[in-house]
A = this chain, B = another copy of it.
Amino acid sequence: VSTVRIAVDLLGGDSAPAVVVDGALQACRADPGLQLLLVGPASAADGMLHALEPGLREQVDVRAVAASAAPVRGTGRGVNTTVRAAVRAVADGSADAVLSAGPTGATVSAAALGLGRSPGVRRPALAATLPTAAGRLVLLDVGSSVDANPATLAGHAVLGAAYGAVSLGLAAPRVGLLSIGTEPGKGDGVRRAAHPLLDELSLPAGAGYVGLIEGNHVVAGDRADVVVTDGFTGNVLLKGLEAAFDLGGVRPVDAPPRAATLLGVAGTVVVCHGAAVPADVASGLALAARLHRTTAVARLTDLITAGGIEMPENPRGDA
């Protein structure tokens, strides 16, 4: 396997750095091509390096950030500093991808500022992959655009369609808008305004808009391969479904990673839940490695620009 260098935010997550380190080591054992750059305060990083089993020492390096970046619980101050430094490692060419389990908002702004947005994208979107009765689907956004307007949802549809093609290998993905009924007109004001926008939208990768779908269709996977929603609804649903799958023992061995990909920025960025366990961090690192090895971001951007797809305009002009 080819080498992939991933910058890891050592302070991201509720139980950082312990969970992040455990997840990093799991990932290294599973993938000898992984080269991790742990970004955090020297104190945390050094202790970890000393405890490393010899076989893994060559896969792990450390980038120390100033002691003032120590996290202040509840403020996300230190976390913001480490995620920004981790993003910088990608921007300066020291890493191929970045992973954080820190606050989503901090990671999204660090990535948008540090790597830049993809052409035409105003609102990056976090895309999660979920297991369904029929296979897998892409749900987006799961936490970035919490007060989304209709144009933002239309932008998610474009990004999600391209990601479904690139990441799940879907030909002509079916794109659905998550709502509370399937007949046009069902939903809140944002959904009622977004539906006609999506209906007229040109989508990449031969994707087609299938209309409104409901929460149960996200589990069945029968109506859509890409499910578009705002970051509030998507985050609530994702966390609820993951917990329900765990309770029911549904999670298969080849379950999709419990990590989300940030779409619409010019780099490979993976986000884990703040309450991620080491296996989740490891699955996020494996996802980041796969995205880099398959040049997913470049292919996604190509599908959109080469397809002549225009990103929907945001009439209010907010970023």
Chain A residues at the B interface, C-beta cutoff of 8 Å? 74, 103, 133, 143, 146-147, 178-181, 183, 187-189, 191, 214-216, 218-220, 229-233, 235-250, 274-275
Contact = CB atoms under 8 A, between A and B. Distances in A.
A267 B244 CA distance: 33
Given A191-B232, A229-B236, 17 more contacts: A146-B180, A146-B188, A178-B236, A180-B232, A181-B274, A188-B230, A214-B235, A215-B240, A219-B243, A219-B246, A219-B247, A233-B236, A236-B237, A240-B244, A241-B241, A241-B244, A244-B245
B215 A235 contact: yes
29 contacts: A74-B183, A103-B181, A133-B247, A143-B180, A146-B180, A146-B188, A147-B188, A147-B189, A179-B236, A180-B235, A180-B239, A214-B235, A215-B237, A215-B241, A216-B239, A216-B240, A218-B240, A219-B243, A219-B246, A219-B247, A236-B237, A240-B240, A240-B241, A241-B241, A241-B244, A244-B250, A245-B248, A247-B248, A248-B248
Contacts of A189: 147
Contact of A232 (B103, B187, B219, B246): B187
A240 B244 CA distance: 9
A125 to B, nearest CB: 14
Contacts of A216: 239-240, 242-243, 275
A305 to B, nearest CB: 31
Copies of the chain in the assembly: 2
A119 B253 CA distance: 53
Nearest to A238: B215
